[in-house]
Chains A and B, each alone.
Chain A
Amino acid sequence: MLKDSLIDSLVNALPTNVHTDLQIPPDHRGQSDTVKGDYKYFHYGCDGQDDRGWGCGYRTVQTLASWLFYNCDLTKGQGMVAPSLPDIQRALVCMGDKPAHFFGSREWIGTFEASLVLDYFYNVPCKIVHVQGGGTDLVQVVGQLREHFERHGSPVMMGGGTDNSSKCVLGVCSGGHGAYLLIADPHYYGAELERTELQRQGWVDWTELSSLDRSSFYNLCMPQAGSMLKTLK
């Protein structure tokens, strides 16, 4: 095991399923669709590496990876809850997507890199959805997310062109004034908090779609793992 891989005891201490029991928006209509199955909430500094200011995309990748680990019959990566930040960087260099000096840097990644990494470590393909900025195209995303949670169930990574804050999307619902996305924010840094406290402080929350930056394009990385789900024995 490489010495910069994740430490089991730190990963075990991470909060699980941080969206559970979060109150749905008061003006919601119809059902909400959310992630199914267990995952760990990865965030800034959670594994001992201080990645404030640059690691939010990596942390979202780790949350997605943990869901694959807990919920899928994997043909690769069965022993790894999530790759570490150095693991992710090393993989992107190895694949030829990044130059050698990327390893050890503080360079940001996005949803495309996430799709390469999840395929590299777990043999799980991802679908990337691109929403062009400047219009109402974000609304299209609602139907695609509903279908994703229904069919595959995993968290989704979302990143923007001018909105540089990585979002871990755990659910979607419709409300009186538009849709909401259930988002776990990887920017939290500090001691591990209970789920209820993370929710109280807003690190996991329903966000109005209309509050997102309409001038920004958005990409979403949706792991296609529906056919790999563990069967109950």
Chain B
Amino acid sequence: SKVTFKITLTSDPRLPFKLSVPESTPFTAVLKFAAEEFKVPAATSAIITNSVFLKHGSELRLIPRDRV
């Protein structure tokens, strides 16, 4: 079965898009799909959600990674 997320770019929240992936998709793969859609590098991006677990209908935000 598939799960669907609404993803926005934190730096430009006007342009959300919906991503549907198989339920078993690893978190790191969801990030790669989202980064590809927004044409930002996955290596320097992260996805966060208001809830702790990714679940169907979650709203995700693409944010820049910190490097320390």
Contacts and interface: CB of A to CB of B under 8 A. Distances in A.
Interface of A: 56-57, 60, 95-97, 108-113, 116, 125-130, 132, 159-161, 164-166, 217-219, 224
B28 A108 contact: no
B66 A95 contact: no
A129 to B, nearest CB: 8
Contacts of A217: 63-64, 66
Given A57-B68, A160-B66, A219-B65, 19 more contacts: A60-B68, A95-B26, A109-B68, A111-B46, A111-B66, A112-B46, A116-B28, A125-B53, A127-B48, A130-B48, A159-B66, A159-B68, A165-B68, A166-B68, A217-B63, A217-B64, A217-B66, A219-B46, A219-B63
B33 to A, nearest CB: 13
Given A96-B26, A96-B28, A161 B64 contact: yes
Contacts of B52: 125-127, 224
20 contacts: A57-B67, A60-B68, A95-B26, A95-B28, A96-B26, A108-B67, A110-B66, A110-B67, A111-B46, A116-B27, A125-B52, A130-B10, A130-B48, A159-B67, A159-B68, A161-B64, A164-B68, A165-B68, A217-B66, A219-B65
B55 to A, nearest CB: 12
A97 B26 CA distance: 10
Interface in B44-68: 46, 48, 52-53, 61, 63-68
Nearest to B46: A112
A112 to B, nearest CB: 4
Given A128-B46, A132-B10, A112 B26 contact: no
Nearest to B63: A130
Interface residues of B, number: 16
Contacts of B48: 127-130
Interface of B: 10, 26-29, 46, 48, 52-53, 61, 63-68
A122 to B, nearest CB: 14
A125 B27 CA distance: 12
A97 B27 CA distance: 10
B53 to A, nearest CB: 6
Contact of A219 (B27, B28, B53, B66): B66
Contacts of B65: 110-113, 219
A159 B44 CA distance: 14
B40 to A, nearest CB: 14
Interface centre among B53, B61, B66 (most CB of A within 10 A): B66
A160 B67 CA distance: 7
